[in-house]
Structure 1
Amino acid sequence: MKWNWGKGLVVAMVAFMSFILYMVITMSTNKKYSHDLVTESYYAKEMAYQTEIDAETNTYDLKEKIEGTKTNEGWLLSFPSELDPTKLTGKVFLYRPSNQQLDFDFPLVLSGSNLLIPDKQLIDGRWNITIEFEYENKAYLYKKSIVY
């Protein structure tokens, strides 16, 4: 039997298709390769995540941005002047990636259009600040990573 490039091409295609078929059958029947969702309520969590994205978008759409600066008294967050501080409700969560015991949260209470996180509550290092607040029945979310 004479061997030419056409037969070689057919043999290579059959070998490749056999390999792919073997992998599909092995991955779908072997219990070692689980294809379960990470959480049972995956789709419900996805909808909650979309709400979080919408709240962040609302924050980005503000005319002025929330600004954070380090002061002698602590970390000062300045909220946009377009927001009436008396109509804001929410909470502030500070997350310390290196030590879970240092995480804390407190209700959002502004002094004027500013929020001061006292120096005594923050130790040097990285912090993730998350502020969830509502203004005129619209949800807002501010996330920032800072080094104090």
Structure 2
Amino acid sequence: MNWGKGLITGMAIFMLFILSMCFYMFRIPADEYDHQYYEKGLSFNADFAKEQQVLKDHAQPQILLDGEIVNVSFTGPAFGTAKFIRPSSAAQDKSFAIETGNQTLAKLPVSGLAKGRWHLLLQWQSGKKQYLYQQELNL
């Protein structure tokens, strides 16, 4: 084999590699960034105040995984939302309504969620105060 054929073969392999990487990049879902970045920036101070309220009132909820149920124990009666956020795919995010009534325990069924790492975002109101708490979970 002479040098000309080797160079042409090497260039052809390199061009196929570059083209395959282009096709791969266009097939990846585009949810790698936050689409509500601006809106979240505007509400940052309100969310920060809710997180500080949890620390000030010592209202950090206790979170226990019991099989296919996540038990969230609040310090008082609470109502709000629990959002399970999947870091690898925004399409798998799921929200639950929380209303404990006169009790302090909320049970969240997670049987339909994929196994792996999740980010739990709890936003609730207890009494007349609003709270926000975040925690990583492995289901």
Residue 80 of structure 2 aligns with which residue?
90
Q: Percent identical across equivalent pairs?
A: 22
Pair 1:136-2:127 in alignment: yes
CA distance in 2, matches of 1:117, 1:74: 6
Residue 125 of structure 1 aligns with which residue?
116
Residue 104 of structure 1 aligns with which residue?
94
Q: Secondary structure at the match of 2:45?
A: helix
Stretches of structure 1 that go unaligned for 5 or more consecutive residues are 1-40
Q: Could you state the TM-score of these two structures normalised by the residue count of structure 1?
A: 0.59
Residue 52 of structure 1 aligns with which residue?
47
Task: Please report how far the alpha carbon of residue 46 of structure 1 lies from its aligned counterpart in structure 2 after TM superposition.
Answer: 4.3
Q: Point out the structure with max Rg over C-alpha.
A: 1
Q: CA RMSD in A?
A: 2.3
Task: Please report how far the alpha carbon of residue 47 of structure 1 lies from its aligned counterpart in structure 2 after TM superposition.
Answer: 4.7
- Closer/same/farther in 2, CA of residues 45 and 91 from structure 1, 3 Å limit: closer
Q: Could you state the TM-score of these two structures normalised by the residue count of structure 2?
A: 0.63
Aligned partners of 2:79 and 2:100 also within 8 Å? no
Task: Please report how far the alpha carbon of residue 61 of structure 1 lies from its aligned counterpart in structure 2 after TM superposition.
Answer: 2.0
Task: Please report how far the alpha carbon of residue 59 of structure 1 lies from its aligned counterpart in structure 2 after TM superposition.
Answer: 1.1
Equivalenced residues, count: 102
Task: Please report how far the alpha carbon of residue 128 of structure 1 lies from its aligned counterpart in structure 2 after TM superposition.
Answer: 0.7
